[in-house]
Amino acid sequence: MKLWKRIKSKQFIGLVSLFLACLLLTGCPARQLPGQTAGLQSGYTVTDDSGYTMMLPAKPKRIASLSYGTDEILVELVAMDRILAFSRWADDPEITFITTGQAAQVKSRAVPYAEALIALRPDLIVAASATLRPEALQTLREVGIPVYISKNPRNLAEVKQKVKNLARAVGEEDNGQHLLERMEEALQRLEEKLAPVTPDKRKCCLAFDFIGVIGSKNNLLADIFNYAHIKNGALREDSIDQGENRLSKEQIVAINPDIFMLPTWNYDGHSGVDAYRRQIVTDPAFQHVAAVRNNQVKLVSDRYRYVTSQHVVESIEVFARTAYPELF
């Protein structure tokens, strides 16, 4: 009996020694997690735009997106079969750049409710900062589903950072870098076309939603106007700052913009685009405003003004073409 105990003790010591040796020697690789790809055996950490850090064991293969901006970025970063669900806006061409073909490839639509998202069984949820309620976010993280919060950018630099950060989250940093390079090249080509529009030649524009003028100095649309060589009339010190205060008719008349840009997205089914345009162009208060007098009341798709993805470059070009068609 004592001899048997000594033998078992030696076997145990031998097993421990072998385990320690494996830890020290490169010849004993770490165990690879199911579905994990080469080069990511130990997983990777990701910090989202809210400052929350999470651990991903491998590149996510079942990604659910809750905003149209992250829909648009993801289709450039990952294979379509890695996208489990698009946001509910993916089928509305007035607000999204997702094509009909892309929308058809991804059948599911993610809604911002914890129970519905859990039922999808995603291995990563990507949401805009205002998409998920705090209690839903907490529930998802408590059940072990990684949730990446992506903030809405307020300028072009933040759009680029959003692309870079999301590329890191899905394990596709090279694809993210290539996308950023394409954006930069397109911006440079556009800047060359707009070179004749010096600061003193910039046209003044006011952009409207169905309530009034939008486009404050802390809004991405203001930065789009700047890159399009358009003077944003809403940036006057005595006008609006963060989009919460609206310009009065008297202020609009005083600004006397060259162009009115009106909304096109009938988001609630009750906002008549054509009726709103007629209301603006027939308003007695605006009859002597340059935009109305010169028939420069334009309809530009709302997907270009509410863009939050790499398509911001296309938006800049569309607004520039609207203001300076002779340059294109």
Cα separations in angstroms, 233 against 83, 203, 213, 224, 257? 40, 9, 9, 13, 7
Q: Please report the pLDDT score of residue 34 as a whole number.
A: 34
Q: Where are the beta strands (DSSP E) in 180-280?
A: 203-208, 213-214, 230-232, 259-262
> Tell me, what's the pLDDT at 271?
73
Q: What pLDDT, on a 0 to 100 scale, did the predictor assign at position 216? A: 73
- Read off φ and ψ for residue 107, nearest 5 degrees: -75, -35
Residue 173: its H or E element:
helix 173-194
What does the DSSP 8-state code read for residue 241? S
- pTM here is 0.83
Beta strand 53-56 with 44-47 is antiparallel
Tell me what pLDDT residue 37 has. Answer: 37
- Stretch (H or E) spanning 64: strand 63-65
- DSSP, res 123: S
DSSP three-state, residue 105: helix
Backbone angle region of 124, left / alpha / beta, with phi > 0 → left and psi within -120 to 50 → alpha: beta
CA distance 239 to 196: 29
pLDDT tens digits for the chain (328 residues)?
A: 433 434 334 343 333 333 333 332 233 332 333 333 334 457 999 999 999 999 999 999 999 999 999 999 999 999 999 999 999 999 999 999 999 999 999 999 999 999 999 999 999 999 998 889 999 999 999 999 999 999 999 999 999 999 999 999 999 999 999 999 999 999 999 999 999 999 999 999 999 998 888 877 778 999 999 999 999 998 865 444 444 467 899 999 999 999 999 999 877 777 788 999 999 999 999 999 999 999 999 999 999 999 999 999 999 999 999 999 999 9
- Predicted confidence at residue 218, as pLDDT, reads 79
pLDDT score at 214: 85
Domains of the chain with CATH codes: 44-183 (3.40.50.1980), 196-327 (3.40.50.1980)
* Cα(312)–Cα(223) distance, integer angstroms: 10
Beta bridge partners of 149: 127
Q: How far apart are CA 315 and CA 312, in angstroms?
A: 5
Number of other residues whose CB lies within 10 A of the CB of residue 274: 9
